[in-house]
């Protein structure tokens, strides 16, 4: 058998226009065969290129050429000109579209630069990727303020949710006078569905260690602490390995690289309480006290761990630092929008084809994330909303699809950046139930210190529950709104101050759905079981008894060959009958 020499890749898989792509692939194979090239040229369907808008895509592997918008009639030309004669078909080239030139790929990896590229347990591979070079430069400059100025100039803002300017935070901590200061890395990552920080620590732990040492030098701290949830055993393991390696080479310990600067890192484990991600609660938890937030000021940068100035930053924030030092503040500040620089890592989840970890420049639109990187909505369903910011955030809808994503725009749209959870919802998701889901989470996770948060969120949950059970009234909607504002205004920490956001944001964007739930008692997504009925159409039912035999609670009665009937008082709405009926006689009302 002759060895295959060339490969042609056609985008396919489950995403976008699978059918069209199949046609391209099979026609291409046919053309190759006609030319007698099938022994040496292989045509292959692949996963999504993240360029769905420009599909179908054909990639010539050996010279890395990408053709976009390929039609069946173009194939002959590609094969004859490119494969046989070696001349690219310029009019179809990806580069021929000026809009795509800059960002032919929508993703840019800065924080994730080494994830999936190096072996996280081998420090030598980190060295090959400029590892510890930034720390070396910072120490050699002998000027902590210069480092702070670089970070300030870069425009980097905290990736843990709040978006506070990192350089400014460092400056404040550096100006606080004390005999001891601390650098803390917040690796608590409590948002449901989020795993950005875990992935960074598992894939590139050295970058976080290096950045913490840089922060230590900049603010004048010799001790670093990583607060990490005990549920992340692999991240903990890799971090420990990396810390040990780093010590062996002298990047942690005393007199680092002959500079006279001492710095070392310890791990502290969290038990997985969401509220312990809040920086004051986190500090109390590290001190061995209850993980409850306290009033700010004093801010940790003035009085934090053990009453000493403490600089708390998120994992992803740290992961950006070495690159900024190495490539310069201007380089970093050129990426992103006016007030949000650089990139953001998101954990893309929900009803989307390409679930995964993505890193995109600030200013990208939701449309690009969902339809290009994400490969579109699963099963060709209709997009409904995206939830960002986790339990503190809100949802963005169709009208926000083209809004550039940055800290300020998301807040203006009634949501927030949060730490990077991004959950996509389709027409089958009931927005009242979604709000209820998040409230269920906050009720569980509230530390209980403030009455509005402890009791108010519970009441919010109960009202939402009442609405999903079909017992809600228009008054309840008013109550939801008022109570939400009271909780926001009177809670101590960020948890309570933001917990009603999912309610307010769904009320704002999906008012119609709430109204339907309380007035006509209908859930258009058929998620609220109390609001739906399975019914058998006597006209369609042939009396095959399939439904009755499969009903787990014997709710269906009827003689053989006669129309069956569902007793609504017994039915638990499991849907088994509808699935089993071959005659489409059962539907949801």
Partner 1 sequence: MSKVKSLEDLKKLREEMESKLVERNNSSNLVQIKVAMATCGIASGAKDLMEFLIDELDKRNIEAVVTQTGCMGYCYAEPTIEVTLPNKAPIVFGYVNLKKGDEIIEKYIKNNELVDGIIPVNYESIEK
- Strand (E) positions, 378-512? 383-388, 394-397, 421-426
Collapsing DSSP to helix, strand or coil, 30 comes out as helix
DSSP assignments along 200-213, one per residue: HHHH-HHHHHHHHH
Q: Which residues bind ligand FMN (CB under 6 A)?
A: 158-162, 164, 186, 188-190, 274-275, 277-279, 312-314, 317, 419, 493-495
- Window 103-162: residues binding ligand SF4 (CB under 6 A): none
Structure tokens at 6: 């060339």
546: contact with ligand SF4 by CB under 6 A: no
Collapsing DSSP to helix, strand or coil, 482 comes out as helix
Number of residues that bind ligand SF4 (CB under 6 A): 29
Exactly one of 556, 558, 564, 581 binds ligand SF4 (CB under 6 A); which one?
Answer: 556
Q: Which residues contact 248 (CB under 8 A, 6 or more apart)?
A: none
Smallest distance, Å, CB 563 to partner 1?
44
571 binds, among partner 1, ligand FMN, ligand SF4, none (CB under 5 to 8 A by kind): ligand SF4
DSSP assignments along 313-378, one per residue: EEHHHHHHHHHHHHH-HHHHHTSB-SSSBSEEEEEEEESBSS-EEEEEETT-BHHIIIIIIS-SBG
DSSP assignments along 484-524, one per residue: HHHHHHH-SSHHHHHTTHHHHHHHHH-HHHHHHHHTT---T
| Cα-Cα end-to-end distance for the chain | 61
Phi, psi at 90, each rounded to 5°: -60, -35
453: contact with ligand SF4 by CB under 6 A: yes
Smallest distance, Å, CB 505 to ligand SF4?
19
Which residue from 138, 117, 135 is spatially nearest to 126, judged by alpha carbons? 117
275: contact with partner 1 by CB under 8 A: no
551 binds, among ligand FMN, partner 1, ligand SF4, none (CB under 5 to 8 A by kind): ligand SF4
Residue number, 7 or 458, with CB nearest to partner 1: 7
572: contact with ligand SF4 by CB under 6 A: yes
396, 467, 576 from 542: Cα distances, Å: 46, 37, 17
Exactly one of 446, 484, 498, 509 binds ligand SF4 (CB under 6 A); which one?
Answer: 446
459: contact with partner 1 by CB under 8 A: no
The phi-psi region of residue 456 (left if phi > 0; otherwise alpha if psi is between -120 and 50; otherwise beta) is: alpha
Structure tokens at 319: 């992961």
Cα 168–chain centre separation: 26
Residue number, 67 or 318, with CB nearest to ligand FMN: 318
164 binds, among ligand FMN, partner 1, ligand SF4, none (CB under 5 to 8 A by kind): ligand FMN
Smallest distance, Å, CB 182 to partner 1?
24
Residue number, 46 or 527, with CB nearest to partner 1: 46
Which residue from 213, 214, 200, 206 is spatially nearest to 245, judged by alpha carbons? 206
5: contact with partner 1 by CB under 8 A: yes
Residue number, 163 or 361, with CB nearest to partner 1: 361
Rg (alpha carbons) of the chain, rounded to whole number: 28
195: contact with partner 1 by CB under 8 A: yes
Which residue from 63, 68, 57 is spatially nearest to 85, judged by alpha carbons? 63
- Window 25-54: residues binding partner 1 (CB under 8 A): 42, 44-51
DSSP structural state of residue 80: I
459: contact with ligand SF4 by CB under 6 A: no
Residue number, 44 or 565, with CB nearest to partner 1: 44
- Window 228-287: residues binding ligand SF4 (CB under 6 A): 275
Cα 293–chain centre separation: 26
190 binds, among partner 1, ligand SF4, ligand FMN, none (CB under 5 to 8 A by kind): ligand FMN
Cβ–Cβ < 8 Å for 524, 482: no
Structure tokens at 407: 């800290």
Q: Which stretch binds ligand SF4 (CB under 6 A): 152-160, 304-312, 447-455, 477-485?
A: 447-455
159 binds, among ligand FMN, ligand SF4, partner 1, none (CB under 5 to 8 A by kind): ligand FMN
DSSP structural state of residue 3: P
Which residue is at the shortest CB distance from ligand SF4? 496
In the shown chain, the binding pattern of residues 473 to 492 toward ligand SF4, with x for contact by CB under 6 A and - for none, equals ------------------xx
- Evaluate the omega torsion of the peptide bond into residue 9 and state whether it is cis, within 30 degrees of 0: no
DSSP structural state of residue 262: -
Number of residues that bind partner 1 (CB under 8 A): 75
In the shown chain, the binding pattern of residues 317 to 356 toward partner 1, with x for contact by CB under 8 A and - for none, equals ------x---x-------------------------xxxx
Residue number, 248 or 489, with CB nearest to partner 1: 248
Smallest distance, Å, CB 277 to ligand FMN?
2
Cβ–Cβ < 8 Å for 55, 16: yes
Q: Which residues contact 471 (CB under 8 A, 6 or more apart)?
A: none
Smallest distance, Å, CB 445 to ligand FMN?
8
Exactly one of 30, 248, 475, 512 binds partner 1 (CB under 8 A); which one?
Answer: 248
Smallest distance, Å, CB 191 to ligand FMN?
7
How many residues comprise the chain? 589
293: contact with ligand SF4 by CB under 6 A: yes
Cβ–Cβ < 8 Å for 352, 50: no
188 binds, among ligand SF4, partner 1, ligand FMN, none (CB under 5 to 8 A by kind): ligand FMN
Judged by the rule CB under 6 A, the positions of this chain that interact with ligand SF4 are 275, 292-293, 446-450, 453-454, 491-493, 495-496, 534, 550-551, 553, 555-556, 566, 571-577
């Amino acid at each position: 058998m002759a060895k295959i020499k060339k490969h042609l890749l056609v985008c396919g898989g489950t995403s976008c226009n699978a059918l069209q792509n199949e046609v391209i692939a099979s026609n291409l194979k046919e053309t190759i065969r006609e030319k007698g090239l099938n022994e040496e040229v292989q045509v292959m369907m692949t996963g999504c290129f993240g360029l769905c808008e420009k599909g179908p895509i054909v990639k010539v592997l050996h010279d890395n050429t990408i053709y976009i918008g390929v039609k069946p009639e173009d194939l002959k030309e590609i094969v004859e000109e490119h494969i046989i004669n070696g001349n690219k078909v310029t009019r179809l080239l990806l580069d021929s579209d000026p809009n795509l030139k800059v960002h032919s790929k929508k993703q840019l990896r800065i924080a994730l630069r080494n994830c999936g590229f190096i072996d996280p347990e081998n420090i030598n591979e980190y060295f090959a990727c400029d590892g510890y070079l930034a720390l070396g430069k910072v120490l050699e400059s002998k000027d902590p303020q210069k480092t702070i100025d670089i970070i300030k100039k870069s425009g980097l803002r905290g990736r843990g949710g709040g978006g506070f300017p990192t350089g400014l935070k460092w400056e404040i901590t550096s100006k606080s006078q004390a005999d001891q200061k601390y650098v803390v890395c917040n690796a608590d990552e409590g948002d449901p569905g989020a795993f950005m920080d875990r992935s960074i620590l598992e894939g590139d732990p050295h970058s976080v260690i290096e950045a913490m040492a840089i922060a230590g030098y900049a603010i004048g701290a010799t001790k670093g602490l990583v607060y990490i949830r005990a549920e992340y055993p692999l991240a903990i393991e890799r971090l420990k390995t990396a810390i040990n390696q780093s010590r062996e080479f002298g990047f942690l310990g005393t007199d680092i690289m002959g500079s006279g600067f001492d710095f070392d890192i310890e791990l502290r484990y969290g038990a997985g309480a969401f509220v312990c991600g809040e920086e004051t609660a986190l500090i109390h938890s590290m001190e061995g006290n209850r993980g409850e937030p306290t009033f700010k000021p004093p801010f940790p940068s003035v009085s934090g761990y053990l009453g000493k100035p403490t600089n708390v930053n998120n994992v992803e924030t740290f992961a950006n630092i070495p690159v900024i030092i190495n490539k310069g503040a201007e380089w970093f500040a050129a990426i992103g929008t006016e007030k949000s620089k650089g990139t953001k890592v998101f954990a893309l989840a929900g009803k989307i084809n390409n679930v995964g970890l993505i890193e995109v420049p600030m200013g990208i639109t939701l449309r690009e994330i969902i339809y290009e990187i994400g490969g579109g909505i699963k099963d060709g369903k209709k997009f409904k909303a995206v939830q960002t910011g986790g339990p503190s955030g809100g949802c963005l809808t169709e009208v926000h699809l083209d809004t550039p994503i940055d800290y300020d725009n998301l807040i203006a749209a009634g949501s927030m950046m949060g730490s990077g959870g991004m959950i996509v919802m389709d027409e089958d998701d009931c927005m009242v139930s979604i709000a209820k889901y998040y409230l269920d989470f906050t009720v569980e996770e509230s530390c209980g210190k403030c009455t509005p948060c402890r009791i108010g969120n519970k009441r919010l949950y109960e009202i939402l529950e009442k609405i999903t059970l079909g017992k809600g009234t228009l008054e309840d909607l008013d109550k939801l709104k008022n109570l939400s504002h009271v909780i926001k205004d009177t809670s101590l920490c960020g948890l309570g101050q933001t917990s009603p956001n999912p309610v307010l944001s769904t009320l704002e964007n999906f008012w119609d759905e709430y109204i339907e739930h309380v007035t006509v008692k209908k859930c258009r997504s058929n998620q609220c079981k109390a609001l739906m009925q399975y019914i058998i159409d006597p006209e369609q039912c042939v009396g095959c008894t399939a439904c009755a035999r499969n009903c787990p609670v014997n709710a269906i009665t009827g003689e053989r060959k006669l129309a069956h009937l569902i007793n609504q008082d017994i039915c638990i709405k499991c849907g088994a009958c509808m699935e089993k009926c071959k005659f489409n006689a059962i539907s949801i009302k």
